[in-house]
Amino acid sequence: MAVLFSNDFAAGDFSEWTSKTDTASKLSVVGGTVIGGQPNNMAVLYDATTAALVQQDITWSTRFLRFRFQMGTNTVVPSNNFIWGLLRDSGGATRGRFEFNADLSGRTSVVHNGGESFITWGAGEIGPNSTIEYELIRSSAPATADGEMHLYIDGSETGTPLGLTGLTLDATTSVIDNLRFGLISALDAGSSGTFYMGDFIANDDGVEIGIPPAATNSISVGIRRRRRKSSIHQ
């Protein structure tokens, strides 16, 4: 496997990530067995006006990009949709996303020459101990509509539709230079709980990463309830 980046938070900090956004000092790695018995978690306590996230810059020169992480949603009670992950180019433009609804159904996307296309999942498909894997295949040549995007939950391809094919994903639109995860934008009032992510791996050889053989560490985002409403738009 040609690994671009791997982090299980065993170091107890975020030094292996390119950067973090945490103006209110709400990011930390703490002990706890949250996702599959993982001993450490990245904890984020935030309000409805402050972003808290980590970013990893990547360079991939093949047609393939895959990344996998573990996720737990067992204590999350969001009051509206929220962005958990963004795929971006070096200029900050969105090239893909992970977005959750209030019932923890959601969707992931890729931006291609024809616009932005989504794969959705239903409520309950991502739970307290889930493994999420995202696969992107660039077009074989410029302006060629043979690019693909796939979503896997717990080792099985899932979502509606079951994979996106026939996409034009050339150097114009599939330039992904960094990945962001955490609270990307503000939440509406009434959200509460903790979101977890752990054992992150990205590769560029197209090989399935799969479910971790043993749990390691995780990242979490905690949400405090607020009385005043603030909405997000992406």
Per residue in 94-104, pLDDT (tens digit) is: 999 998 887 88
Residue 92, domain member (yes or no) = yes
Pick from 147, 123, 131, 5: nearest CA to 64 = 147
Residue 229, domain member (yes or no) = no
Residue 220, domain member (yes or no) = no
Residue 230: the pLDDT is 39
22-26, 120-124, 135-139, range with greatest mean pLDDT: 135-139
Residue 126, domain member (yes or no) = yes
How many structural domains compose the chain?
1
* More confidently predicted of 111 and 47: 111
What does the pLDDT look like over 167-202, one tens digit per residue? 999 887 789 999 999 888 766 666 666 777 788 899
Residue 233 CA to residue 217 CA, distance in Å, equals 31
Pick from 132, 108, 98: nearest CA to 202 = 132
Residue 176: the pLDDT is 95
**Does the pLDDT of residue 223 top 50, yes or no?**
no
> Which range marks the domain in which residue 52 is found?
3-204
Residue 35: the pLDDT is 65
Q: How much of the chain, in percent, has pLDDT values that exceed 70?
A: 74
**Does the pLDDT of residue 133 top 60, yes or no?**
yes
Residue 218, domain member (yes or no) = no
Residue 217, domain member (yes or no) = no
CATH code, domain carrying 119: 2.60.120.200
pTM score of the predicted model: 0.86
